[in-house]
Amino acid sequence: MTDVATTGFEILFGRPPEVVREAPGRVNLIGEHTDYNDGFVMPIATPQRTRVELAAADDDVARVWSTSIAADRAVSYRLGDERRRGEWIDYVQGVTAAMRRRGLAIRGFAARIESDVPLGAGLSSSASLEIAMVRALGEAFELAIDPIETARIGHDAETGLVGAPVGIMDQMAASLAAPDAALFIDTRSLAFERLSLPAAAELVVIDSGIKHQHAGGEYRVRRQECVDSAQRLGVRALRDVKVEALAAAALPPPLDRRARHVVTENARVVEARDALQRGDAMRFGELMNDSHRSMRDDFEVSTPEIDALVAIAQQQADVFGARMTGGGFGGSVVMLVARGAAREIAELVATRYRARHGGTPTILIP
Ligand code: GLA
């Protein structure tokens, strides 16, 4: 058994790293399944981060080791020879392939990856790895890559070699968000704005323990339903539909419900931004509750277990609002709670959920 903590870069590669770069995971506060509809999102960075230590090599071979595999030897591949293996190394291969496609001059390298962003919890461990990797390679090979381009490279890696048809929210968040401010993003223009959380509030995030899977079927189906809805409505994307126009839209089910989620969710994100500008935790919380209801009933990406966890959270005093975060079908629940009460509420909600529904909910924040 390899001792993860002591399998340092020097032990693996016989020399010290030249650069060390990090990137966080993300929790989306509101704006779910809007990013691939050119809409609005509002993630915040997790305190959990992925860290990449890296040194350039003289050849064109990538040698990569990760604490998540805890093997004795690094996985290697030749640059230019990237191909999907269905494993974690695909995120790294996706990044190098995307950088090379852009004509960014990278050579071989040795890299050691370490992360405390939990896998499969809906906090986008994959985007944090992609962004930390782009940053480390950018620094090692002295390439000037701005944060939006960094996000675009990460997104190309994920939609290209990895093959998950995701929007750009997670990579934008990993590249640009901080843990102390919400990041409002217009995913069409990639314009963004940082907003403080209300002084009276803080966040709780609980992982339901139910694993989700994106590259998987349902996400793809929802995405296609959105494309079909936009086409029938004669717009470029559902972002271009106003709430008032929905009633007259006359889409067949389930497209009517899918479109209603996206269009109302976009409106909620804009209103959530206004609420943050006023420091209004109550209104922000109500919008989170509405967002969950819409994901549950209209977009149908929740599960009974997640609904139960959200309902328990919403029933507690000192909770402004709660919703599932991320792509859905499992993952984590985010709650906005009264400042100072986070630890106590998180433990109460996790305990009640365990007592009634079993499972292993884990408190990720605080
Ligand atoms: C996943 C995707 C994002 C976004 C969310 C849903 O996290 O990676 O691009 O679509 O689902 O909001």
How far is the centre of ligand 1, averaged over its atoms, from the C-alpha of 350 (Å)?
25
The pLDDT of residue 212? 66
Give the bridge partners for 158, in sequence order.
none
User: Does residue 102 sit in helix, strand or coil?
Assistant: coil
- Residue 173 DSSP one-character state: H
Q: Which atom of ligand 1 is nearest to the CA of 122?
A: 7
The answer to whether the CB of 262 is under 6 A from ligand 1 is no
Query: How far apart, in whole angstroms, are the C-alpha atoms of residue 111 and residue 88?
Result: 14
Q: Tell me what percent of the residues of the chain surpass a pLDDT of 70.
A: 97
Residue whose C-alpha is closest to residue 12's, from 58, 76, 89: 76
What residue owns the CA closest to ligand 1's atom 1? 327
> What are the tokens at 63?
């040698």
Ligand 1 atom, smallest distance to 167 CA: 9
Q: Which atom of ligand 1 is nearest to the CA of 214?
A: 1
What pLDDT is recorded for position 120?
86
pLDDT of residue 213: 56
Q: Which atom of ligand 1 is the closest one to the Cα of 41?
A: 12
DSSP secondary structure code for residue 118 in this structure: P
**pLDDT for position 5:** 52
Compute CA distances 119 → 127, 129, 211, 234, 303, whole Å: 11, 11, 9, 39, 19
Question: Which one-letter amino acid corresponds to residue 242?
Answer: K
Take atom 11 of ligand 1 and give the residue whose Cα is closest. Answer: 327
The pLDDT of residue 163: 93
pLDDT, position 269: 98
Question: In this predicted structure, what is the pLDDT of residue 216?
Answer: 66
User: How many angstroms separate the alpha carbon of residue 9 from the centre of ligand 1?
Assistant: 33
**Can you spell out the DSSP letters for 195-264?**
EEPPTTEEEEEEE-S----SSSHHHHHHHHHHHHHHHHHT-SSGGG--HHHHGGG-PPTTHHHHHHHHHH
Q: Which residues of the chain have pLDDT under 50?
A: 1-2, 215
Is 128 strand, coil or helix?
A: helix
HSE-up (13 A, CA, CB side) for residue 248:
5
Q: Probe ligand 1: pick from 170, 220, 325, 334, max atoms within 8 Å of CB?
A: 170
Residue 168 corresponds to which tokens in the numbers above? 């750009």
Q: How far is the CA of 181 from the centre of ligand 1 (A)?
A: 19
Per annotation, catalytic residue among 35, 38, 90, 170 = 170
- 170 Cβ inside 6 Å of ligand 1: yes
Residue of 35, 119, 168 to test ligand 1 pocket, by largest number of atoms within 8 Å of CB: 35
The pLDDT of residue 50: 98
Tokens linked to 313: 């959270």
Atom of ligand 1 nearest to the CA of 219: 11
Residue 190 in tokens? 């990639």
Residue 151's pLDDT is 98
Q: Which of 32, 166, 239 to mutate to test the pocket of ligand 1 (most atoms within 8 A of CB)?
A: 166
- Specify whether 280 is catalytic: no
| Nearest by Cα to 32 from 331, 299, 210 | 299
- CB 167 near ligand 1, within 6 Å: yes
